[in-house]
Structure 1
Amino acid sequence: MHPHPDVDHVLLTEQQIHDRLDELGAQIAADYAEEPPILVGVLKGAVMVMADLARRIDLKVEMDWMAVSSYGSGTKSSGVVRILKDLGTDISGRDVLIVEDIIDSGLTLKWLLSNLRSRGPRSVEVCTLLRKPDAARVEIDVRYVGFDIPPEFVIGYGLDYAEAYRNLPYVGVLKRSVYEG
């Protein structure tokens, strides 16, 4: 398969992603065997990860969604977070597993963790497909990490640039000329 013309190079193939989700799903199923968690996907980026991960967790899990915004159409986090869509489920007393596509600065996730913990769940953990350790601005304990990646602008598998490229089946590095030109 040839990458999209706006992709500089493929960072993670579709097969690499699916193999790692198999491992994460098995680990989550083992860790939550006694009490299945509610999966909370963070829209829009986590749609692909959430759908594929949920199918790999051999438990009766519930799913809900939140949409929070701190990006706009740029390539850097603004640090300002607002809820665009809140949970429809009461999470008090429940085990919650936040499913993210990527953790970049960590600012949005830190805010989200604080917000969800204030609602009285038994536990709140994080599963992310991608993490950029070199871009972190705050320390966050992430229980499940698919891949640590370099601080490059990535698209595909749910990740976008100005709402485009989410449908690519791999994770690729966006050519600088696309967002600097």
Structure 2
Amino acid sequence: MNPDHISLHNKQFEPYLSAARLATAIEKLAAQLNQDYADKTPLFVAVLNGSFMFAADLLKALHIPCEISFIRVASYEGTSSTGKVQEVLGLTEEIGGRHVVILEDIVDTGHTMRMLLDTLGDKQPASLEVASLFMKPECLQHELSIRYVGLSIPNDFIVGYGLDFDGLGRNYPDVYKAV
């Protein structure tokens, strides 16, 4: 049973999206990807740490040959974006000529995604797309074309299902929003 409210550091959070709602969104994304990549073998590049649950559940729902790799970037401090993106752990696979799909937990300002699209695009993949579980359209500061979006949400600070507040909260199967 999931708690009615959670407390992380100095903040309170209330239930926002259930694990069942997340599973439905992921199933829809998987169906799109299964169709769009039916004749390809895409490389999924999951952005750590936040996307680990999303990436695991999405790949379990795919029925196409595919590979996965992980990169780590950071642009958050506490509850707000620093606006600076630092690549911490880079991609080791050769992606030239490959179909690449970046897996991200959430796109809000778009700083991280802009940097990733530019960096990976320079390596000349056959195609480069983004699949994000969450998107905050009102927060975008970059023009981005994100083909695969699980859920568009308002500008609420959320935790759970891989998303954290200063390291805490990733382990919850549901998503909570700050109150």
Tell me the TM-score range normalised by the shorter chain: over 0.9
Q: Which residue of 2 aligns with 1:44?
A: 49
Structure 2: which 5+ residue stretches go unaligned? none
Mapping of residues 75-86 of structure 1, within 5 Å: 75-86=79-90
Secondary structure at 1:66's aligned position in 2? strand
Q: Equivalent of 2:154, from 143, 146, 150?
A: 150
Q: Is the 8 A contact 1:37 1:95 kept in 2?
A: yes
Secondary structure at 1:69's aligned position in 2? strand
Measured after TM superposition, the shift of residue 4 of structure 1 is 4.0
Q: Is the 8 A contact 2:5 2:14 kept in 1?
A: no
**1:20 aligned to 2:25?**
yes
Q: TM-score, normalised by structure 2?
A: 0.93
Q: Which residue of 1 aligns with 2:167?
A: 163
Structure 1: which 5+ residue stretches go unaligned? 176-181
Q: TM-score, normalised by structure 1?
A: 0.92
1:3-24 CA-to-partner distances (Å, cap 9, x unmatched) read 3432532221000101111111
Q: Which amino acid aligns with 2:40?
A: E
Q: Give me the identity figure in percent.
A: 37
Moved more, 123-132 or 76-85: 76-85
Q: Which residue of 2 aligns with 1:29?
A: 34
- Runs of 4+ residues deviating >2 angstroms: 1-9
Output the CA distance in 2 between the equivalents of 1:161 and 1:106.
19
Q: Which amino acid aligns with 2:145?
A: D
Measured after TM superposition, the shift of residue 78 of structure 1 is 1.3
Q: Equivalent of 2:15, from 10, 13, 17?
A: 10
Measured after TM superposition, the shift of residue 83 of structure 1 is 1.1
Q: Is the 8 A contact 1:26 1:58 kept in 2?
A: no
Q: Equivalent of 1:61, from 66, 88, 93?
A: 66
Measured after TM superposition, the shift of residue 43 of structure 1 is 0.4
Q: What RMSD over aligned residues (CA atoms) do the two structures have, in Å?
A: 1.1
Measured after TM superposition, the shift of residue 103 of structure 1 is 0.4
Output the CA distance in 1 between the equivalents of 2:83 and 2:120.
18
Output the CA distance in 2 between the equivalents of 1:11 and 1:136.
21
Q: Is the 8 A contact 2:6 2:14 kept in 1?
A: no
